[in-house]
């Protein structure tokens, strides 16, 4: 379990460089789509699959032959927040 103190947010723990393009407005909501821009230059197409504020965030993303699902669960812990992370990554083709 990853423990995150109550301090200003760090975007995706330094992996996400920027939000490349928001494909849907009026969010966050289940089904909202966007495209990430990571520090490595990967630009996966993303979609929120589950959202139960303030305890659950789940998203799915794909980039060429790779797809991934990420689920984050948040629980108060002391002066901060405990975050549990589940991730499933799949690949097809020559990966």
Q: Is pTM beyond 0.85 here? A: no
Other C-beta atoms closer than 10 Å to the C-beta of 36 total 21
Residues in the chain: 95
Q: State the pairing for strand pair 2-5/56-63.
A: unpaired
For the CA atoms of 18, 88, 84, 36, what is the dihedral angle to 10 degrees?
10
* Residue 95: pLDDT over 70: no
Mean pLDDT of 18-30: 70
pLDDT at position 46 = 94
Question: Can you give the pLDDT at residue 87?
Answer: 96
The pLDDT assigned to 94 comes to: 72
- Which residues, including other chains, have CB under 8 Å from residue 13's CB and lie 6 or more apart? none
State pLDDT tens for residues 34-56: 898 888 888 999 999 999 999 99
């Amino acid at each position: 379990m990853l423990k995150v103190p109550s301090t200003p947010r760090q975007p995706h723990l330094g992996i996400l460089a920027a939000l490349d393009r928001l494909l849907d407005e009026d969010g966050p909501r289940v089904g909202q789509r966007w495209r990430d821009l990571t520090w490595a230059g990967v630009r996966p197409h993303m979609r929120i699959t589950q959202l139960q504020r303030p305890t659950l965030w789940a998203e799915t993303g794909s980039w060429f032959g790779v797809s991934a699902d990420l689920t984050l669960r948040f629980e108060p812990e002391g002066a901060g927040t405990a975050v549990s992370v589940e991730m499933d990554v799949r690949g097809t083709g020559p990966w």
